[in-house]
Structure formats: C-alpha cells, structure tokens
Structure 1
Amino acid sequence: MIVTQPFVSGKYLIGGKWIQSNKTAKVINPADINEVVGEVALCTKEEVNKAIEVAATAYESWSRSELNDRVDRMKSAAKEIKSLVEENVTLLVRENGKVLVEAKKDLLRCVDVMIETADELLEWWKPEPLHGNQKVQIRKRSRGVTAVISPWNSPMILTFKRVIPAILTGNTVVVKPATNCPLTIMTFLKVVASYFPDGVINIVTGSGSVVGDVLCSDPRVRTISFVGSTETGKDIMRAASGTVKNLYMELGGNDAAIILPGANLDTEMIKKLRFGVLRAAGQVCSAIKRIYVHESKYDELVEKLTKEFQRVKVGNGIQPDVEMGPLNNKSQFEYVKGLIDRAEKAGATVITGGIQLDPDSWDDGYYILPTIVTGATQESEIVRSEQFGPVIPILTFADTKEAIKLANDSEFGLRASVWTEDESVAIQLADLLEAGAVFHNNHTVFQDLHLDFPGHKESGLSRETRHCGLELYADSYGLGN
C-alpha cells in the first residue's frame, strides 16, 4: 500500500521553521508492521539545545502578551483544528493502533481542551484578595520554558492537556512526542503553532537518552510535564534535581477494581468492566489491571466477563466494526505476551476470548486477544505488574478488610473502583483506598476537562487541578503593602 507521508515526517520544529533531520527512524503501523506510516526525526543534543534557546528567547515577549490576545489566538486555532479531525483520524489509527471511534474522540477532545482552557483563563488569572489587617493579593505569573514529554498510548489528548495550558499561561514549550507515534501530534501542533509567535511552540523528537536528558537537565527549562512509566519518571526527577524544576508527572498505575457482594453484575456493569479493562487494548495508565471479587460473586463474574470478552472484535482499527486494535509496538507486545506465558507456566489458568476479524493477516500486527487470568496469587508477576495490555487477573477476597488490603498492596496508586449497589459503602471504601481517584460502579476518566487528580505513591507527582490544568504552569506570588 502506497500512502503519502505527512508533511511533518522526518522533521522537527524550531522557531517556526520545519527542519528536515539528517537522521530518522521509521514509524510503523502496529496493525500491519509492513506499512511505514512516516518517519521521525532523531534530533541531536545540539538541536535540542537550539530549541530550548529559541523557546527561552520567545518567552521574553510571549510572557508579557495580553491575555485576551492569547485567548483569541487559541480559539482561532481550535476552529481550524476541528476542521482537520476527519481527514487526520486515520493517521492516528495507523501510527497508534487505536480504533476509529477512540481516535476520533481523542482528536475532538483536543479541540475541547483548547476552547475550555481558553475560556477558563481570564477568570482564573484575576488577582485574589486575602482578607486581614494587611492588604494582600495573590497574583499569577508565567514561569518560563516548559518541556512536554508525551507518551505513545494516548498521545493526542495527553499532549494537548499539557501544551495548551502551558502556552495560555504565558510559557513557551518544547514538546517531545514519543517516537512510536509522533506524526498526528506534530500535524496538529503545526496548525496550533501557526497561530502563535515563532518559538512559542517547538517540537523535537528522538530518544529519551538524548532529547529527554537535555530537556530535563537544562536550567532554562523551568517545568517538566511528563506522562509515562514510573521508572522513567524517576530518571527525570534525578536529571531535574540539579536545577530544582517544577515537575508534573503522570506515571504508572496498577488499578484495582473491587467487586463487593452487593454488586449487580448485569449486562451494563459487565460492559463497563470490559471497557475499563480493554479500552485502547488495555494501554491506559488508569485501566483496570486487577480485579478483586468477593468469593460469592467469583463464578458469576468469570462466566459473564468471559462471554463479554468473547464478543470483542479485534483487528485493524481502520475497519469501522473493530472494537479493539493491536498493541502499539513490538516491545510492549512481547512484554504482555511474556506476562501471559509466564503466568500460565506458573500454574494460572489463561482464558482467551475475542474474534480475529482477519485471521490471515493476524501475525502482521501486534495483536493480543482479550485475556482473563484466574488462579494467580497476590504475589504473581501478572498481578504486581502494570500489564498495559488486554489481560486481566481476577482474584477473590473473603471480606472488605481483605479487599482493601489487597488493593492497597502496590507501589502504585493511580485510580481504583468499587462496585456495589450501596453507594454509602462505596464511599466508605473509597476513603480507605490509596488512589488519586476512586470510581463507583465505573472505571473511566473524568469527562469534565477542568478536573484532574494526581496519582498517589509512585503513580504521579503534582496536585489536583480544577481549572483545566492552568494551575500547574503558573506561579503565584503575593502583593502586599
């Protein structure tokens, strides 16, 4: 298949100029590894340094720009971005592996981020008076250059939720997309960047050991916003410590779902559980990765969830009837396959479901069918690890005290869920769970873009936000007399 590569293929953006890299790597379609979707530039340390230099220079004037001007630019950019969704949704599917429905939602949600964050800016930026014997105001100001380091699993929304509030609060950004799927991000940010002064948005790509290290250690970078693994997050913290940067990091998760005796495992609940496990083929930080079910509900849950998994259509996300696509890359595919194989060898029972839509081309993609693992223990690798794939271990508990202990027995603490008809019980358990957010009879994301909650323990480093993330990219200072 011959496909025209996007304009951004093999290029990087510095100071409003798209520059062709001397060294590139291929971006592969995970649904068909024989298809090259485009190329990604492998930037050098010198090129990353240049991007930071340009961003630092642009910051001097952009930080003093009028708020209304920033809002107008963002809303104009949002209109054009919305008009490009339909023609670019297949690009995201081809480089990421998402199904069309999920990919389109991601792109439209990026438009929402632009509009809602711009709407929030003017009111949020107003000085806040403090009452007392002295006249004091809390005022806000921009911080400097922001490095946005994006993941490959949900590259669009997780990039836009960081870039947009950063530039609206008067910062400039250097964005590092994941090398596995940078093309859609860059295609859309190309448009956004055209509405802002040169140097406000810069994009460099390449390995973390080159690009990431420079971004994290350079003193001109004042904020690092990162989404990715906990281990990489620890590396970033070490690199950033020399210049005491502001860090906003969404890291790994091993989310627990607790099914209580009072849960109603009807069709709707089972579908919500399936979605909580299999959304984006399980490649979601806040997906369900462990299920603890009361022993009285165990047989019912396994039977019903197995039947639900068996109906899932797996294949190339370009096809409109596909419900789950492939894993994004070879490394993740081999990791998840290894977890399943080792669990089975250790004595667990592996139940595989799903429908292969194209059996003849199945081995051309990084496909794994929806999988349930029973008979594992709390100490099993597949229970303790963040699988990041379409596989879920199911364990039992005898009472709620045990359930809470098992759920909290992890270094992670991103999200959790409690499943019961008794909301008061769910609230009581939520207070005991070590997670940044707890859902009742669901395991999803916050639909309100104003809201976000950080993970606990090794799942993140930031604070909860109620203003589209604007709080994370501006400093407050006091003005008194």
Structure 2
Amino acid sequence: MDSERIELLINNQEVPTDRYSEIKDPGRLTDVVGYVAMGNVHHVDQAVQAAYQAFLSWKKTSLEERMTLLSHAAKVLKDETLPLSSTMSRETGMLLKVSQSEINLAIRVIQVTLEHAEDFLRPIQMEDENSWVSIEKRPIGVIAGIVPWNAPMVLTMQKVAPALVAGNTVVIKPSPNAPMSVSIALKKIASLFPAGVINVIHGESDIGSALNKHPLVRKISFTGGGNIAKQIMKDAADSLKSIQFELGGNDPAIVLDDANLDEVIPKIVNRVFWRSGQICIAVKRIYVPNVMYESFYSKMCEIVDEFKIGHSLDERSTFGPVNNNNQYQYVKGLVSRIKLGSAKIVELGKRLEPEQWNNGYYLQPAIVRDVDPMQEIVTCEQFGPVIPLIPYRTDEEVIQMANKTEYGLGSSVWTCDFERALRISREMEAGMTFINGHGQSRLGHEFMPFGGVKQSGIGRENSEVGLAEFIEYHAINYHKPQKS
C-alpha cells in the first residue's frame, strides 16, 4: 500500500513543515502507513489565530446553518467509511470491523448532538409584572481538542460536533500514535465550513503545551491519561481556561451469585478484550463469588483461547496488536511482574502468523487468577489484554473492593435480579454503571452523560450535559418601568 502524506490544516489550507513523523503499522512494523507534518509553536499560533478570526463570524451564523453543515459532515464520514477505516486500522492496529464500527459511532455522535442542539440552545425566558429575564447560551470561543490514539474518530467527534453546533471554532491535536484517519476526515469536513472553523495541528507534548497556554484558547477538551491532564491544568492555570477531561478508568465488573455464566461470560469477555483491552471503559477487573470462581475461570479460559491473534486487515483475525511500543512494554512489564508473584497467569489465543509475531506489538490475551485485591494488576489501568479475577464473599465486600480506587469511570453489575443490581449500582463510585452489559446501549448513547468521577475526569461528554461544556450562560434582566 502507498504511504500517505498528511500536512497541518490551518484556515482550510494544507501547511507543510520541515519535519515529518513516520507512522508505522503496529501489526507490521516494517510497513510505513504515512508521514505526518510536525508543527512548531509558530504553527500553533497560526492555527489559533485562524480559529479566533473565524469565531468572530461563525458565532453569528444561524443555528440552522450550523446544524446543516454538521449533518453534511456526518454524510462525509458515511461516504468515506471504507478508506477511513482501512487507514485507521493500519495506524492503530484495530481490526477492520472495529474501525468501521467506530466510524459508524462517530456518525451517531454527530446525529445525537444535532438531536439535542435546538432544544438545549434555545434561550429560557420568563417575566412577571416587574421584569423580564432571558437565560441565553452563547459560545465560548476557540476550543483546543486533544484526542488519544485508541478511538481517535469517535473521541474527536465528541469534541468537534458539540463545539461547532454551539458556535465555537476548534483546533484539534490528534495523537502522534494515530493522527492520520482523523486528519483526513477533518480536512474533508473542514472544506464544508468557513475557513478557520476547523484546524488541525500535529506534534508532541511541546505543541500541546503551546496550544493549551495560548491566550486565545478559551477551553481545553482532553481525552487521555491523568498525568497529562495534570500538566494541562497547570498550562491552563495562568489564563484560567475552562477544562473538560475524560481520563482513565479501572472499571470493575461485579458478577453476582445468581448470574447465568453461559450468558454473562461471553459478554464480559467481549468488553474486556474489545480493541485488545485498549479502551477507557473496558472491563479491567472482574469480581466473582467464591462459589462460582472455578467455573467462571474455566469457562472464560475456553472462550478467550478461541481468539485468533493477527494483523488488523487479516479477515481471520479476531484479536489485534496493541498500538505502540510504550503500551506494549508497559503491559509486558505487568505480565512479567505477575509471573514473579503468587498469582497464576495464563496466556491464551492462537497466533495466526507466528513468523510475524516480532514484527508487531502482539500480545496474547491473559487471565490472572488467585490475585490479591490490592495487587498492581487490580489497582492499575492496564489498558491492554490482561484481566484479573478477584474472588469475594458478600455484596458489601465486593462494593467496598470495587470502590477502593481513585478511578471512577464505568462499572457493571451482572445478575438475574434487577432490583439487587440497581441497589448495588447506586453504591458504585463511578460516572456510569451498566447492568448486564458494559457500555452504552443505543438509548444510552443518546441520553447518558459520558464521563467519570474522582481521577477519571472533570465534566462530561454526550447528551445535553455534553453540550453544556461548550457554552457560557449569559443572563439578561430587564427591569420594567413601574406605573406611578
């Protein structure tokens, strides 16, 4: 396959630079997917200035026109699904069907945003005999959107769609580990909009810092890790910028003693190893009652051992590589440390092309049993294909163990008893709890605010609550003349 060249996008113009990053296929490290222009501080200023100038007129554009253009953007994604998903799979290592489903979800993000926009953005007005009040929602200004590599398209659209429909302009910084498909899509979408409404800048942490510190950036929306979020908060502090963070998770799945394991285990396995475990709301630890621990472990091993590990574009593959060397080495280190302890770890799955194993970031899915509740693999966010099973005795004990973490993104409860599940769900210290599933249903995608508590985030995405992240409230109070 030919390698593609991706430039910066500033004011609807492609901007070349003097330095390009080589993007390699995580499943074929000898294959170069493309070359991406790396910006400098001057480019950051150009992009923000372009976004600011565009904002001055874009904020006055009618809501109807903004919604129409975003509807056209959704159609662009639909029309470009096949080439975009192929590029995304080659740069992320995700299976092709996973990339295709992500683009479909990104389209749905735009559609859901549009469904909520008109009602949410409408002013609220009231009056009595003495005065008239209008509570109005106006755009913030230039939004810096910083997105990660694991689900680049949908996480970009969760920032772009609500920001633009509310009347803001954006400067997007894709992850250096998966910048191509997002940049290609945004270039096509940007051509629908006035120049400067959508800008794309590439670079490492210094570029991100310059973007976050720029005085014309009014809000930073970031999805990623907690350490980077802390640095962003410092960068934002001098100008008191608003922030919105969707950060890591260590999502517990609590299996209750009345659960039907034949139904439950395949669903849990899917949510553990989706994207090879590289998703913020993947199940990252499983709590199983003592009385069914052995049965659960055996059944789970049988299912996981059927995974076929291979390249993202290999139609036989059901399990792909991890995305980058840092994550690969981190997960390998976790596995090595587990093997040195008392817990038992089993690595499963079948290698499709053993001769290519060292030419990609391939890891076998692994299950850890007989693990201490406070062991590293239980308390960390592994963000990879290793899952611990932790036994428990009572509902009260498992609630306490599940909440004993600084993470609080998602959680799930698996049972035949809805009332019992609901009671436990309401005890979870998490932004979201799912019952007999792990992830949002179609109805959930439409109405659930997405985000976490504690160190899993600040603010929310999705639904009307997500739209509220991209507006400022402006209250107007008219005092009527009083009759003498």
In 2, distance between residues paired with 1:39 and 1:450? 39
Q: Equivalent residue for 2:298?
A: 303
Q: Equivalent residue for 1:12?
A: 8
Q: Equivalent residue for 1:128?
A: 124
Q: Equivalent residue for 1:140?
A: 137
Residue 114 of structure 1 deviates from its aligned partner by 2.5
Residue 434 of structure 1 deviates from its aligned partner by 0.4
Residue 130 of structure 1 deviates from its aligned partner by 4.6
Q: Equivalent residue for 1:360?
A: 355
Task: Pick the aligned partner of 1:161 from 158, 163, 167.
Answer: 158
Greater displacement, 312-321 / 466-475: 466-475
Contact 2:44 2:207 in 1 (8 A): yes
Any residues of structure 2 matched to 1:244-393 within 5 Å, and which? 244-266=240-262, 268-393=263-388
Answering whether residue 223 of structure 2 is matched by residue 227 of structure 1, we say yes
The alignment partner of 1:469 has SS state of helix
Residue 396 of structure 1 deviates from its aligned partner by 0.7
Task: Pick the aligned partner of 1:37 from 33, 38, 48.
Answer: 33
Task: Pick the aligned partner of 1:50 from 43, 46, 52.
Answer: 46
1:154 is aligned with what amino acid? A
Query: What do residues 180-211 of structure 1 show as CA deviations (whole Å, max 9, x unaligned)?
Result: 11100011111110000111001001101x11
Contact 2:254 2:413 in 1 (8 A): yes
In 2, distance between residues paired with 1:295 and 1:458? 30
2:3 is aligned with what amino acid? Q
Consecutive unaligned residues of structure 1, counting only runs of 5 or more, are none
Change (3 A) 1:434 1:116: closer
2:95 is aligned with what amino acid? V
Identity of aligned residues (%): 36
Answering whether residue 429 of structure 2 is matched by residue 429 of structure 1, we say no
Residue 367 of structure 1 deviates from its aligned partner by 0.8
The alignment partner of 2:463 has SS state of coil
Residue 112 of structure 1 deviates from its aligned partner by 2.3
Consecutive unaligned residues of structure 2, counting only runs of 5 or more, are 479-484
Q: Equivalent residue for 2:458?
A: 461
Contact 1:116 1:468 in 2 (8 A): no
Residue 80 of structure 1 deviates from its aligned partner by 2.7
The alignment partner of 1:49 has SS state of helix
Change (3 A) 1:468 1:13: farther
1:428 is aligned with what amino acid? R
Contact 1:40 1:206 in 2 (8 A): no
Q: Equivalent residue for 2:481?
A: none
Contact 1:446 1:452 in 2 (8 A): no
Point out 4+ residue stretches in structure 1 off by more than 6 angstroms.
none
Contact 1:465 1:471 in 2 (8 A): no
Residue 468 of structure 1 deviates from its aligned partner by 7.7
The alignment partner of 2:31 has SS state of strand
Change (3 A) 1:20 1:316: same
RMSD, aligned CA: 1.5
2:326 is aligned with what amino acid? S
Q: Equivalent residue for 2:199?
A: 202
Answering whether residue 162 of structure 2 is matched by residue 190 of structure 1, we say no
Contact 2:246 2:460 in 1 (8 A): no
TM-score scaled to structure 1, two decimals? 0.96
The alignment partner of 2:8 has SS state of strand
2:69 is aligned with what amino acid? R
Q: Equivalent residue for 1:27?
A: 23
Residue 137 of structure 1 deviates from its aligned partner by 2.2
Q: Equivalent residue for 1:415?
A: 410
Answering whether residue 239 of structure 2 is matched by residue 243 of structure 1, we say yes
The alignment partner of 1:25 has SS state of strand
2:397 is aligned with what amino acid? E
In 2, distance between residues paired with 1:96 and 1:336? 17
The alignment partner of 2:464 has SS state of coil
Change (3 A) 1:59 1:207: same
In 2, distance between residues paired with 1:64 and 1:342? 57
